[in-house]
Amino acid sequence: MTRLFLISAVIIFFGNISTGFAQTQRIALGDKAPEIELSDPNGRPVPLSYLKGKLVLIDFWATWCAPCVKEQTELAGLYKKYKRSEFTKGKGFEIYGVSLDAKKSNWETGIHTLNVQWIQVSDLKFWQSPVAKTYNIQELPFNVLIDENGIILAKNLHGAELGKAIAGYLIRK
Amino acid sequence: MYDVNEINDLTMKTKIAIILFLTVSLPGMAFNLFSSQEQKDPWTPQQLLNPAELAKMLNNPKLPQSYVFSVGPQAVIKGSIDIGPARMKGNLDNLRLQLDKLSKNALIVIYCGCCPFDRCPNVRPAIELLKNMQFCNYKLLNLPRNIKADWIDPGYPVND
């Protein structure tokens, strides 16, 4: 009876570990960021891998998400400051904005109103976007910082923490 | 031995301290009470509908059916009626028009699912509308995180 209990406990323990691992392994630090193949507002496909060689912030946002909208101003500051900088993890800084908007008009108006200068892609599928599943996004805003080879350096950093992380890789402004 | 004057002095100091405490803290307590009442959600815990219960209803046509309205960015739940974000007046007017067609006893379910309730700008205007229109059998779908985590991920039915 005791042996049966112990075996069950071990199965449950390792079962839970493997489940947790499966959910997070794809966006774990040090892993390669999964490819994203979505289109910009003009319908042109802009794959994430197109940015190889740069330090890239993948910013998951939506115009219906108030904290995300607020954060766009901070991102604009970082983009302006570091766009042409040289880093230990890439040459130049780019933001790859992935919108979970549902309506194209809202997305386009948001980009225009907030004067977003960086790459914007979306499949306009709201929380049903496959990318939300691939990146295991639990809530917005969410972001992932990747290096020149697409390796994940940091996840979900915001405000001063994000600025500090980017500055940490800086060689030359 | 205690000095009587000293004791009287101490008693007086205690009284002053109590009066000062009440003078300073009471208005604050009253303000906090007022604020918490002001921020109170327009729904009761009994009006929150568990997603599993709604999924059961949707999967079994023999069960009493409800009118499910999406008041967020997109109607994700299978068969739900897309109103659009209820924070926008035009969409709220549209919801009013749709509700006008229904009996006050109809079972109505409202959901948004963009974000956690404390950040959602859409569920409160919709629930307040139902309350003001004197519907008596309405529910708010309990999506404490968002529609992905609380509806899509558990595999409940979605629109294609």
Q: Do the strands A170-172 and A86-87 form a parallel or antiparallel pair, or are they unpaired?
A: antiparallel
Contacts of B19-26 spanning 24+ positions with Cβ under 8 A: none
pLDDT exceeds 60 at position A40: yes
Q: Would you say domain B45-152 falls under CATH 3.40.250.10?
A: yes
pLDDT exceeds 70 at position A89: yes
Summarised one tens digit per residue, pLDDT across range A132-166 is 999 999 999 999 999 999 999 999 999 999 999 99
Q: Are A107 and A41 in contact (CB under 8 A)?
A: yes
The CATH superfamily label for domain A32-172 reads Glutaredoxin (3.40.30.10)
| Cβ-Cβ contacts under 8 Å, B145 against chain A | 138-139
ipTM of the complex: 0.75
- Write the residue in A103, A106, A128 that is nearest to B76 by C-beta: A128
Q: Where are the domains of chain A?
A: 1-29, 32-172
Which amino acid belongs to residue B102?
Answer: L
| pLDDT computed for residue B17 by the predictor | 59
**Which residues are B159's β-sheet partners?**
none
Answering whether pTM is above 0.90, one says no
- Write the residue in A64, A101, A132 that is nearest to B148 by C-beta: A132
- Write the residue in A64, A137, A138 that is nearest to B114 by C-beta: A64
With a pLDDT cut of 90, the percent of chain A lying above it is 83
Give the residue among A116, A131, A128 at the shortest CA–CA distance from A39.
A131
Q: How far is B82 from chain A (nearest CA, A)?
A: 12
Asked if the C-beta of B72 comes within 8 angstroms of chain A's C-beta atoms, the answer is yes
Find the chain A residues whose C-beta atoms sit closer than 8 A to any C-beta of B: 62, 64-67, 101-103, 106, 125-128, 132-133, 137-140
Summarised one tens digit per residue, pLDDT across range B110-151 is 999 999 999 999 999 999 999 999 999 999 999 999 999 999
Summarised one tens digit per residue, pLDDT across range A105-129 is 999 999 999 999 999 999 999 999 9
Sheet containing strand A152-155, edge to edge, reads A45-47, A37-39, A119-122, A93-99, A55-61, A142-146, A152-155
Residue pairs spanning A and B at CB distance below 8 A: 47
| pLDDT computed for residue B14 by the predictor | 60
